[in-house]
């Protein structure tokens, strides 16, 4: 089955930012587009705004003047809902209220033809629930574009409980024909991206609430060590704290207040105070004129150790051994099986974050997971009050000798990047086990939808079959609330043999 024929008119109901963006995508793909808004005059204003954006595309040589003129000629501001009668696809982008959307589609069902595909762009409501008001829910599907729709490639194609396979396929192929990258998804709270992305925000907020580090340091570690484009605090300031918190609450409630999706009290207080981020001038950071930029904690220069003793290969951090040698620091091999760590001249140990705390051991400094230890420009270290200052200084000097800035945070189990990645990997495995989406579509969605450096299963393959499970299991022992309890799917993955599951993830 293919997508819509270009001769088929498409309608967009709701002319806010998302509605205009979706209309522009359909227009540029070659469709005639009807814009409708319940507020008189809004559709005409939206058509003018889209026309202005097409002009800017011409100025940037991304669209020819002839194509712009042709697109403008295909764009019509509809005065009445009945003007959409001959459309073969209607995409809704109105207020995020179930009753409003249900009423709209009940009216549309009496207007459009039987072959018209009905779609919602909802990001937080149940596609199944919206379709539940219809006589023919089989032709109803979710088409979740990401903002700004003309620029971001991802579209989540969401099948409700009653969605016909043919309707989902038709929507999928239409999105692909429009130049987008569609991913197929079952109707689950948050779909793919908003479900699996929750730990990226939640773990950063949790480290902050535990007094482990301040926002600027956490953001810097996520960017410069974890490889994420933005940290959680600056990203939620950009999104809007109220918007991000609303999505978190929606997913949490939809999962019957599952502790794994619990909202942040610190973020709630931020919203209550009116500090909504960039749009209000204050969020986690101050954006008012003249405000000083918050800087991450960066340790003072320290002397690098003359040598380290390597016990084991450091697992996902094994690349560090080559970097240490390249920096002119001797690496002595200990062939006895003591685990996977470095022993410093002080006798203290340096280990990759594993979900345990430094205070549990005599003299241990933990270092965080990095996307790429060679390219990382910052490393976080974690130590307890009982860690000797000499051991911490040697660990700091070691990473500084590798050309890294060092941020020392509190004794936080799992640190920052490691616990975040482990939870994302866990939610991804759980989603596949519950039929939400395929591994390939989840990786695609997380890379394109939220610009992650790797998809969850790409991380999983890189880190090893047991890594995420072991870290979360240790975290769960130290925080038995259930927040870090590994899913059954991750447990099965960790203990399955390569022969049965293959060695690809």
Active-site residue set = 123, 144, 156, 194
Q: Distance from first CA to last CA of the chain, Å, rounded?
A: 31
- CA gap 336, 27 in Å, rounded: 66
Contacts of 486 (CB under 8 A, 6+ apart): 426, 468, 469, 472, 473, 476, 494
How many alpha carbons fall within 13 Å on the CB side of residue 232?
26
Q: Which residues fall within 8 angstroms of residue 442, CB to CB, at 6 or more apart?
A: 183, 192, 196, 428, 431, 432, 436, 455, 456, 457
CB atoms within 10 A of CB 497: 9
The Cα 72–Cα 33 span in angstroms is 10
Contact in structure between 24 and 8 (CB atoms under 8 Å): no
Distance CA 189, CA 123 (A): 9
What is d(CA 305, CA 100) in angstroms, rounded to the nearest whole number? 65
The token duo for 137 is 């829910």
Beta bridge partners of 350: 342, 365
Q: Give the up-direction half-sphere exposure of residue 279: CA atoms within 13 A in the CB hemisphere.
A: 11
Residue 6: count of CB within 10 angstroms of its CB: 12
Cα–Cα distances in Å, from 494 out to 69, 246, 467, 488? 57, 34, 8, 10
SS3 157: strand
Q: Residues with Cβ < 8 Å from 213, sequence gap 6 or more?
A: 207, 221, 297, 380, 407, 409, 410, 412, 416
User: What are the start-end ranges of the E strands in 42-88?
Assistant: 75-77
Structure tokens at 117: 């595909």
| Number of neighbouring beta carbons within 10 Å of residue 209 | 12
Q: Are 197 and 204 in contact (CB under 8 A)?
A: no
Per-residue DSSP letter, 211:
T
């Amino acid at each position: 089955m293919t997508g819509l024929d270009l001769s088929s008119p498409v309608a967009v109901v709701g002319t806010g930012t998302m509605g205009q963006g979706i209309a522009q995508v359909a227009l540029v793909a070659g469709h005639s587009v009807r814009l409708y808004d319940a507020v008189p005059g809004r559709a005409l204003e939206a058509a003018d705004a889209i026309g202005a954006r097409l002009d800017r595309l011409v100025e940037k040589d991304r669209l020819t003047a002839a194509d712009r003129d042709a697109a403008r000629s295909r764009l019509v501001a509809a005065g009445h809902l009945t003007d959409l009668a001959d459309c073969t696809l209607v995409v809704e982008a109105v207020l995020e209220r179930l009753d409003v959307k249900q009423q709209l589609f009940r009216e549309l069902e009496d207007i459009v033809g039987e072959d018209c595909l009905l779609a919602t762009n909802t990001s937080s409501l149940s596609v199944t629930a919206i379709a539940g008001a219809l006589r023919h829910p089989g032709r109803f599907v979710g088409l979740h574009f990401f903002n700004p729709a003309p620029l971001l490639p991802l579209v989540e194609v969401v099948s409700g409980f009653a969605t016909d396979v043919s309707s989902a396929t038709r929507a999928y192929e239409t999105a692909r024909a429009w130049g987008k990258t569609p991913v197929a998804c079952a109707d689950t709270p948050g779909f793919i991206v908003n479900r699996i992305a929750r730990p990226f925000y939640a773990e950063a907020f949790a480290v902050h609430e535990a007094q482990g580090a301040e926002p600027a340091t956490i953001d810097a570690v996520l960017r410069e060590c974890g490889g994420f484009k933005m940290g959680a605090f600056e990203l939620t300031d950009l999104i809007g704290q109220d918007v991000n918190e609303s999505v978190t609450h929606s997913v949490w409630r939809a999962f019957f207040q599952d502790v794994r999706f619990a909202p942040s009290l610190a973020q709630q207080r931020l919203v209550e105070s009116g500090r909504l981020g960039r749009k209000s001038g204050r969020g986690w950071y101050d954006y008012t004129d003249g405000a000083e930029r918050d800087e991450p904690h960066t340790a003072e220069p320290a002397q690098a150790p003359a040598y380290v003793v390597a016990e084991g290969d450091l697992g996902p951090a094994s690349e560090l051994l080559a970097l240490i040698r390249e920096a002119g620091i001797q690496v002595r091999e200990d062939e006895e099986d003591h685990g996977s760590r470095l022993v410093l001249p002080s006798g203290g140990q340096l280990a990759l974050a594993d979900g345990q705390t430094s205070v549990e051991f005599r003299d241990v400094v933990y270092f965080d997971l990095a996307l790429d230890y060679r390219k990382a420009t910052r490393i976080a270290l974690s130590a307890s009050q009982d860690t000797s200052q000499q051991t911490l200084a040697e660990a700091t000097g070691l990473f500084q000798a590798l050309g890294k800035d060092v941020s020392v945070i509190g004794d936080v189990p799992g640190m920052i990047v490691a616990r975040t990645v482990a939870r994302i990997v866990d939610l991804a495995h759980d989603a596949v086990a519950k039929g939400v989406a395929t591994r390939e579509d989840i990786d695609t969605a997380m890379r394109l939808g939220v610009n992650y450096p790797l998809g969850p299963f790409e991380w999983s393959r890189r880190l090893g079959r047991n890594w995420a499970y072991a870290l979360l299991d240790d975290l769960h022992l130290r925080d038995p609330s259930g927040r870090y309890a590994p899913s059954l799917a991750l447990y099965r993955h960790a203990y399955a043999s390569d022969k049965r599951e293959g060695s690809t993830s």
